[in-house]
Structure 1
Amino acid sequence: MKPQILHLMPNTTDEKRWVAEITGEDPTFKLKRDFQPDGPEGVWEIYDGWYQIHGQATGVSPFNKEYVHVKNGRMLRHLNFRYVLAHLEDIKAAEP
């Protein structure tokens, strides 16, 4: 499957931008996050999976350390922490 391309500008509150894939369980923070490198500055390739995103995309409400799920190239936004935790087994099963 082809990746979706996400262009992020820095968040207006703290001037940061990042994309972290949720890849499993963490004993301290509950969810293990793998921060993804941006391609050209401010550009990320997003594949199906679970992510935490922080930054501003043109024409879209800001991502403020927001959990999202991408499935079949479509992004479901505004997920709460407990919802993501409830899908931890699915997240772990998707990893090679």
Structure 2
Amino acid sequence: RYQEMCGKQIKETRRCRTVDYDGHARHLISSDGTIYNCHHLLYKEKHPIGHIDNGWPENILDPIVCGEYGHCNPCDFRDMEVLPADSSIYKPVSLINT
């Protein structure tokens, strides 16, 4: 799975969420308070899902639709739950600045 997530030439669209050891959603907060789903999006400052000044998004536990799959950061590999983009169990989180 690591080879699918990291260092690919072509990006794919998937539904992703970052989870901790207990299966709870985990998010990253930048120094300015912007909330991101994973390290890749945080480092690239792409597709924030909210800001702490505005509170947590209502559907914060749902996977986001992300077009960056294949360029994931290796440190997200262990904690990333990846689902196909076309079949949905959850409603996708609406991204800011898409």
Q: Give TM-score, length-normalised by structure 2.
A: 0.25
Give the structure with the larger strand fraction.
1
Bigger relative contact order (CA 8 A; separation at least 6): 2
